Structure 1
Amino acid sequence: MPLHALPTRERLTEVRYEIRGALARRARELETQGRTLVKLNIGNPGNFGFRAPEHLQQAIVQHIADTDPYTHQQGLPQAREAIAAHHAARGGFEVSADRIFVGNGVSELIDISLRALLNPGDEVLLPSPDYPLWSAATILNDGRPVYYQCLPENGFQPDPAEIESLISSRTRAIVLINPNNPTGASYPRETLEAIVAIARKHGVLLMADEIYDHILYDDATFQPLAPLAGDLPCISFGGLSKVHRACGWRVGWAVLSGDRSAMQAYTQAMDLLGALRLCANVPGQVAIEAALNGLDTITPLCSPEGRLFETRRALIEACEASAHLDLVAPAGALYGFPAVTGPAAHAFDDHAFALELLETEDVLIVPGSSFNVPYRNHFRVTLLPQPEVLRDVFARIDRVLEKRAALAA
């Protein structure tokens, strides 16, 4: 008698994560056949020759003997004190270590923070495009994503008026990803101030994903949200994965700010959920203090002649030279989000294009619609490879688009 198939959670059918989805599975199949691929789907510095800074590695080596026991569910006290001091210094306001939660990466903390907040049917305002984990975590915690459009023709900036128009009696939070993944947009102070005013007027939580806070190019600046929010409930997320190139260490943090009494029940809910998973990875936590107080190793990479700056330059120049691509130059983060335009965009399907590029040119990218946008003519690449690798990739992309343009003529 055949066994019955195990049922799965129904809401999983609403979740997509193409960054590691069907295209990535097909890429693995091709690699088993002996194909050599250029994989630009994940912002994973260690896969492109980057290493976590030496002083972070040494912090772990020197303290590894102390990391066997569980720690407090909120994280190592000295790590939380370092995070508190770092946020206070950049924002000019008091941050308390007892309101900081260290997690196994920001991803875990996003899930926990939404689980502590949402009841079935509650709404979360998310940017479109978004990092799709935010949509997935909202859905899997029985919430409803509601998207505000960050349009390419507006430099992928949010429109505060649209955000306010989307608020309903079920809205519980406004999420900002700044600098943005996948677009690289960095939000100006006046825009953030307008969004803070909206959150204050309607009594909703602000959630600021700031994992790329120090990855900035040219004259771009980063404005943290919490200092503008003041006594308004706000959660700011950061970590070691991107700025410090330590993705595999799984170290992130959530900083709760705003009026204590207004956030008391929510803080207790976060603490309960943190306790249920016991604690975050302890060895990685011992590197937090060294990361936040040590040598700045990211700014040189983002400055002229630095690796990330020069790969971004290669992206911009490749798109400018192409008859088929348009790009809003990323101001920060680790990605570009080009658009396919002109005859090559006729009847264009971003997923079909990504599959064709993988099968014919050995390049793995992420379709733009994976980031919860209503249009299908964008794709995301990471800025982590060497500049010459990215130039070669875009020569391959142009070959595929040239064929599509010829067929459309």
Structure 2
Amino acid sequence: MDFLSGRGKYALNPIEEEDKLAEKLERKGKRIIRLNRGDPAKYFPTPKYIIDAYKEALQERITGYTAADGSKEMKDAVSERYSRLYGIKLGHDDIIVTQGVSEALMFLNSALINESDSAILFKPYYSLYLPWLKLNGGNAIIENYDESSNWDVHTEGLKRSLKKIGSKKDRIKYMMITNPNNPTGTVLSKSVLKEVVDIANEHGIFLISDEIYDEIVYNNARFTSLSQLAKGMPHAILNGASKVYDSTGFRIGYIIVPEGDRKSQALKERLYNYALMRLSVNSPAQYATVEAIRNTKEHKKAINAMVKEIALRANRATKLLNENPYLQTVKPNGAFYILPRVDLAKLGIKSDREFTDMLLEKEGIQVTRGSGFGASSHFRIVALPPKEILDYAINRINTLCKKQSR
């Protein structure tokens, strides 16, 4: 008799899969530069006004449970934010506060996926989308972001796939997009996003947009929220405090289901039930996030300074990477990730996993293999560290490529 569940084989996170090896190498005295985790708070301190609000929550003894689906104040703040930024009106029942977007993914897949149901994911996809789908017995229909078109959605391929699937579309529970994208750094154009919305609406597919990086946009890109284009059709939005409010450790996320149709109402009720099962989200963190959202003056100063610096770092890193003849990199314009393609054949390397292993063990640089995002022959770099660290890391990447090309 097997003691462990067979589903456990899907419990993987490639972003952190080499952490133990990195720690082992450090114990042996090797310097390790970690470019694998997208943690802005490590390089851009969480703004003081947010820290002060967290302290105030503790001093005021705001340490008990809140409502399972989020405090009234938290929901009010989220509603105010979406009204201010995107002109969307939300009620309390439209918002479920979660312990980060990771829990939101768990809730959504648990609520929607039965054994052998499907979901449409676009690769490269965020590394936790596929595990949560499979843990719930679902299958992925993989579509593509088109690297030759700056990682835009390949809408023609999506249309062909849906036409081929035909009557089996009823088993497709949702379609997931990420905008701005992790791991590519792409911000979808309004026209492409509208085309995706129209396709989902035509085929009756519930559309979900992960928008956790919605204010981290640069290089003249413009972000459009799904909520602005999908009015009147069933959809959901994922967001939170981790990236834009620079507070990853607070673990504050939320799911927005803004419509009142039958599917949306059923989903909201089911999500609420899942929230009841874990009782509450961190109450001081909710309190601090309310202040983070409502203090627009301080937030504007903090986010503008952070995005300006991220743009400088990402653009410089992309330029340096593209000077390497064995790498090809699409310039990002949102979030803080870069996804170079590696010419593995010219380097005599069999896989992107072998490449990232060698980079860590020989050069002391920890990145994430592209295959963890559905993008083999790529690797993901986090462009958050200062210029000196990124320059050093890219120099070590170049060194490995030169050694392997001989």
- The residue number in structure 2 matching 1:389 is 389
- The residue number in structure 2 matching 1:20 is 16
The aligned amino acid for 1:138 is L
Q: Could you tell me whether the CA contact under 8 Å between 1:344 and 1:402 is conserved in 2? A: no
The aligned amino acid for 1:388 is E
Q: What is the CA-CA distance between 1:161 and the residue it aligns to? A: 2.6
The aligned amino acid for 2:103 is E
Q: What is the CA-CA distance between 1:397 and the residue it aligns to? A: 0.5
Q: Could you tell me whether the CA contact under 8 Å between 1:343 and 1:405 is conserved in 2? A: no
- The residue number in structure 2 matching 1:289 is 290
Q: Deviations over 1:305-363 (max 9, x none)?
A: x2x12211221221232222111001101111011238635554111111111111111
- TM-score w.r.t. the length of structure 2 is 0.93
Which 10-residue stretch deviates more, 137-146 or 176-185? Answer: 137-146
- The residue number in structure 2 matching 1:8 is 4
Q: Could you tell me whether the CA contact under 8 Å between 2:152 and 2:186 is conserved in 1? A: yes
Of 40, 60, 66, the residue aligned with 1:71 is: 66
Q: Deviations over 1:128-174 (max 9, x none)?
A: 01111111111111111111111311211112232233343311101
- The residue number in structure 1 matching 2:330 is 328
Q: Could you tell me whether the CA contact under 8 Å between 1:83 and 1:97 is conserved in 2? A: no
Change (3 A) 1:249 1:275: same
Q: What is the CA-CA distance between 1:405 and the residue it aligns to? A: 1.6
- The residue number in structure 2 matching 1:349 is 351
Of 148, 153, 156, the residue aligned with 2:148 is: 153
Q: Deviations over 1:39-89 (max 9, x none)?
A: 1111112333x2111111111112223422211111010110110111122
Distance 2:174 2:347 in 1: 36
Q: Could you tell me whether the CA contact under 8 Å between 1:345 and 1:377 is conserved in 2? A: no
The aligned amino acid for 1:334 is F
Change (3 A) 1:274 1:342: closer
Matching of residues 150-299 of structure 1 within 5 Å: 150-167=145-162, 168-294=169-295, 295=298, 296=300, 297-299=302-304
SS at match of 2:97: strand
- TM-score w.r.t. the length of structure 1 is 0.92
Taking every aligned residue pair, what percent have the same amino acid on both sides? 27
SS at match of 1:257: coil
- The residue number in structure 1 matching 2:314 is 312
Distance 2:148 2:121 in 1: 19
Change (3 A) 1:170 1:226: same
Distance 2:79 2:41 in 1: 28
Distance 2:243 2:108 in 1: 21
The aligned amino acid for 1:315 is A
1:371 aligns with 2:367: no
Q: Deviations over 1:67-114 (max 9, x none)?
A: 222111110101101101111222223211221011111110111012
Distance 2:54 2:137 in 1: 38
Which 10-residue stretch deviates more, 340-349 or 248-257? Answer: 340-349
- The residue number in structure 1 matching 2:53 is 59
Q: What is the CA-CA distance between 1:364 and the residue it aligns to? A: 0.5
SS at match of 2:177: strand
1:31 aligns with 2:33: no
Distance 1:25 1:342 in 2: 25
SS at match of 2:388: helix
The aligned amino acid for 1:111 is M
SS at match of 1:322: coil
SS at match of 2:209: strand
Distance 2:123 2:202 in 1: 23
SS at match of 2:170: coil
Q: Could you tell me whether the CA contact under 8 Å between 2:57 and 2:288 is conserved in 1? A: no
Q: What is the CA-CA distance between 1:121 and the residue it aligns to? A: 1.0
Distance 1:47 1:32 in 2: 21
The aligned amino acid for 2:287 is V
Q: Could you tell me whether the CA contact under 8 Å between 1:124 and 1:145 is conserved in 2? A: yes
The aligned amino acid for 1:212 is Y
- The residue number in structure 2 matching 1:117 is 112
- The residue number in structure 1 matching 2:305 is 300
- The residue number in structure 2 matching 1:80 is 75
- The residue number in structure 1 matching 2:100 is 105
Q: Deviations over 1:182-225 (max 9, x none)?
A: 00011011111111111111212111100011111110111000
Change (3 A) 1:345 1:224: farther
